[in-house]
Structures are given as C-alpha cells and as structure tokens.
Amino acid sequence: MGEPALPKCVPLGLSPSFGFGDRIGLATPGHVEALRRSGSGIEPIFPQQSIREMVRTGRNPAGVMKDALLGSILAGWTGKIGADADHLKTPEDVDVTSAAGFTFFTIDPSGSVAAHADDYDEATLRDRFAQVVAEVEWIRPYQGRSIPLPTGTTIELDEPACLRAAVKYGRAVNHAVALADHIRRVSEAAGREYEIELSVDETEQPTTLAEHYIIVDQCIARGMKLVSLAPRYIGDFEKGVDYKGDVVALERSLEDHAAIAGLLGPYKLSLHSGSDKLSMYPSLSRATRGRFHVKTAGTSYLEALRVVARHDEALFRRVVDFARSRYDGDKATYHVSATLASAPPPSEVADVVELERQYLELWSEVPAGRGFTRPGRQILHCTFGSTLTDPTLGPAIREVLVRNASTYDEILADHFARHLDALRSGL
Ligand SMILES: [Zn+2]
C-alpha cells in the first residue's frame, strides 16, 4: 500500500480562475467545499506559493504540491487543478517549481522596475532614458502611435509616455522575456504544458494604460505565452482588508485594462492580494467579462487562527502575543497600515470571543488620517512566517487544525464561498 496517485496539474487557459494559497498545507478540503457550495464554474488553483512564502514557512515546492493534491483527493475533487509557482524572479526559481509539477508560472520582474519613475521631472526622465537606451531600443516604434480602445478611451503613446514606460519597465520587460524563455525550455524538456502570468502588482505606482499596452505587446511579440497580467491597479490593495478606493473609478479603469487584454491577447487580468476585497469583485468579473484570475494566500492562514481561537484559547493568546512581538520587524515587505497601538494586547481582553473579534474582524481608524483598516488581521497576517516556523507555535497550530479538521473545513468553505459568490455576481 503506497500513497494514492496524485492528479496532474494542468493549465487553465482563459477560464475564470481562483488561487487558494495555503501556507500550512491543510486547507485544500475547505477550499474544495467552497467551490462545491458556490457552484461558480470558477477553476481552482490549489497548489500556489511564492518563493518568498516558501522561504518564510520552511516549505519547498514539492511539499506544497503534495499537501494540496492530497487535500484535493481527500475532499473528492475530480475537476481540473492549476498550480501556481508565484512571484518567480530567477531561473533557479523556475527549475525547482517546474520539477515539482507546477504549470502556471508567475513572473515577477519587480526587481528591475524603476519604482519612482512617475515622480521624475522631464530632465531626470531624459537622463535615465539615456542610461538604459541601449537595452530598450524596442521602444522607438511605439512612439507617436495612438491606440483607440472599444471602451472609447484612446491611449496616446506620445514621447513622454514612451520615455517613462521605457525607464520604468524597460529592463523589467527584458528580464521577464528572458525568464519566459527559460520557462519554455524547462517545460518542453519536461514534456509539460504551461502558462505564464506577468505580475507587476507589487509596485507603488499604478500601471498606466500606455505601460500595460507596451509591456504586454513587447512580451507577446518576443514569444511569451501569456495567460494573465497582474497590473498595479488604482486604489489601495492592503493585505487582509477590503479594497480601499473608489470602486466606480476602478471599474472604469478595469474596463480599459480588459480592453487592452482583448486587443493584444486575449489574456486574463489578475488580482493579487485578493483576499477580502469583496466590494470590488463584481467590478472585476463584469469589466473582464469573466476573464480574470484572483489570488489569495494569507486569508486561509487567518481563518486557521480562527479555529485556534475557538478550540484552544491559551494557544490563540500566545499566537497573538507572539505576533505582536514580531510585527514591526516582519511587516517591512508588506503593504499594511496597522500599528500595534491600534489593537489591544491579549492581556487586556478577558473574553476570547472578543479577542477573536479584535484580531480577525474589527475595523478601526488608522492614525494620521490614513483611513480605516483591520489592525488585528494585518498584525497576524504579516507574522505568519515567524509564527509557523516557531518550534512550539507552528506544530501546536497544526495539531489544533488536524484535531478540528471539520471546523477548519467549515470556516474556509463559508469564507471562500462568499468570495466566489461575489465574483460570480458580476459574471
Ligand atoms: Zn502578488
């Protein structure tokens, strides 16, 4: 008697799709139940982990793959499964994830993006362009073109827009194309179908329509098998909380981005940090006419902590204390606005139901006029790596989840069915 044969992951093409990242490896049965409940026709990606997450949780691509696929078998899932090797930056990242059977490769060239190019004045812009011009000669033919979109918007590729795109994303495009070539070679050698997402979501400044057009046109012209693009959209996409911004303006902008995707592809528009952004989901599915991909990751971890709160109060209190002690150090790479002062230490909250509410539900105002957020969720969200790799807390959390698997499945099913229903409502 060995282990059951694991299903093979496949590309999902242009079908609407949803990525259920799982940092612990026990969430897939709950994800499957959510898909059953919502009956949404949205295709799942169960194995999904970025290299950064694997480093922080001490996991590896083969382990992530195996946990997710075993979970899908356990839950009786017989549909297609995609597998997302998320935020890949180097050829080595591709090699290790391809070897584990991943089929959806997310290229992240953000290390080569000039993050502050939108703030350059014209003199600085020309100066920076002169520094990269030898690498971005391909920008020239775009200059002076005017691209009318079916939405009525026209993209003017005038000289300033082209210079800025070349300075901001020129090297990133070259880097992404080289990585895509590597993905093609590795996948062909393995005899495996594959698809590529290009993600520039982790930049400070929104991706303009001109930038979207130029980046993708270049990538496709140079052979990238692009199935989805994750631009940096307008508004704020903080971890663990709903969308912060003007949803009407966002939908108009999504319609324009989707029109470009229809013109150059078609390919899907992808939303990262997608958990809890329910207010903008109908806009996303409506504007893209169902050509979307959504990624969530941290939210399954937060819901795991809800199981801990309900079944092991003492452990939940320790996790919250520990998270508070690590938050200021761990939050560096995340887009969050919570401060420690905006959520009470567990010692000041006698009732565990109230503590769960404080750390997993409550919205409160952020100082200095920075709007509202859910400080507890953000404090727990950013510290997942420290918590899960802690020699006592990590195993203790897993044990609670294993002992209370039906609670965890139910909480996840409810949580994600609401996500899938919100997306479906715009279809
Ligand atoms: Zn991302």
Q: Which residue is it, tokens 């109060």?
A: 313
pLDDT of residue 306: 97
Annotation says 197 is catalytic: yes
pLDDT of residue 224: 98
Query: CA-based diameter of the chain, in Å?
Result: 70
Q: Compute the distance from residue 201 Cα to the ligand 1 centre, in Å.
A: 6
Enumerate residues 6+ apart whose C-beta is below 8 A from 317: 346, 352, 355
In whole angstroms, what is the distance from residue 308 CA to residue 400 CA?
A: 6
Q: With CA atoms as reference, report the closest residue to 228 among 10, 2, 15, 58.
A: 15
Q: With CA atoms as reference, report the closest residue to 98 among 57, 62, 72, 52.
A: 62
Q: Compute the distance from residue 204 Cα to the ligand 1 centre, in Å.
A: 12
Q: Compute the distance from residue 88 Cα to the ligand 1 centre, in Å.
A: 10
Reading the block at residue 191, the tokens are 């005899």
Contact between residue 293 and residue 197 where contact means Cβ atoms under 8 Å apart: yes
In whole angstroms, what is the distance from residue 115 CA to residue 197 CA?
A: 20
End-to-end CA distance of the chain: 45
- Catalytic pick among 108, 197, 201, 211: 197
Task: Supply the angle between the helices 91-99 and 61-74 in degrees, to the nearest 10.
Answer: 40
Please report, in tens digits, the pLDDT of each residue of the chain (427 residues total).
567 789 999 999 999 999 999 999 999 999 999 999 998 789 999 999 999 999 999 999 999 999 999 999 999 999 999 999 999 999 999 999 999 999 999 999 999 998 888 899 999 999 999 999 999 999 999 999 999 999 999 999 999 999 999 999 999 999 999 999 999 999 999 999 999 999 998 788 899 999 999 999 999 999 999 999 999 999 988 877 788 889 999 999 999 999 999 999 999 999 998 888 889 999 999 999 999 999 999 899 999 999 999 999 999 999 999 999 999 999 987 878 888 988 999 999 999 999 999 999 876 655 555 556 678 999 999 999 999 999 999 999 999 999 999 999 999 999 999 999 999 998 8
Query: What single letter denotes the amino acid at residue 42?
Result: I
Q: Which residue is it, tokens 């950064």?
A: 52
pTM recorded for the entire structure: 0.94
In whole angstroms, what is the distance from residue 148 CA to residue 150 CA?
A: 7
Q: What share of the chain is helix, strand, coil (3-state, %, to 5)?
A: 55, 15, 30
For 142-163, the DSSP string reads: GTTEEEE-TTS-EEEE-HHHHH
pLDDT of residue 115: 82
Q: How many residues does the chain have?
A: 427
The C-alpha torsion from 58 through 27 and 391 to 86, rounded to 10°, is: 20
Q: Compute the distance from residue 86 Cα to the ligand 1 centre, in Å.
A: 8
Q: Compute the distance from residue 4 Cα to the ligand 1 centre, in Å.
A: 32
- Map residue 105 onto helix, strand or coil: strand
Q: Compute the distance from residue 270 Cα to the ligand 1 centre, in Å.
A: 9
- Map residue 44 onto helix, strand or coil: strand
pLDDT of residue 366: 52
In whole angstroms, what is the distance from residue 366 CA to residue 39 CA?
A: 38
Q: What does DSSP say about strands 195-199 and 104-107: parallel, antiparallel, or unpaired?
A: parallel
Q: Which residue is it, tokens 């999904």?
A: 48
Q: Where are the alpha helices (DSSP H) in 191-312?
A: 209-221, 247-264, 281-288, 298-311
Contact between residue 193 and residue 11 where contact means Cβ atoms under 8 Å apart: yes
Q: Compute the distance from residue 297 Cα to the ligand 1 centre, in Å.
A: 10
Reading the block at residue 134, the tokens are 């030898």
| φ and ψ of 157, to 5 deg | -90, 65
Question: 191 vs 95, 365, 414, CA distance in Å?
Answer: 14, 53, 38
Q: Which residue is it, tokens 């300033």?
A: 160
DSSP E strands, 304-375 = 364-365, 372-373
Q: Compute the distance from residue 198 Cα to the ligand 1 centre, in Å.
A: 10
- Catalytic pick among 33, 53, 67, 86: 86
Q: Compute the distance from residue 272 Cα to the ligand 1 centre, in Å.
A: 5
pLDDT of residue 24: 97
Q: With CA atoms as reference, report the closest residue to 273 among 258, 294, 291.
A: 294
pLDDT of residue 117: 87
pLDDT of residue 275: 85
Cα 276-212-269 angle, rounded to 5 deg: 35
Instruction: Quote the DSSP letter at residue 236.
Output: B
In whole angstroms, what is the distance from residue 168 CA to residue 422 CA?
A: 34
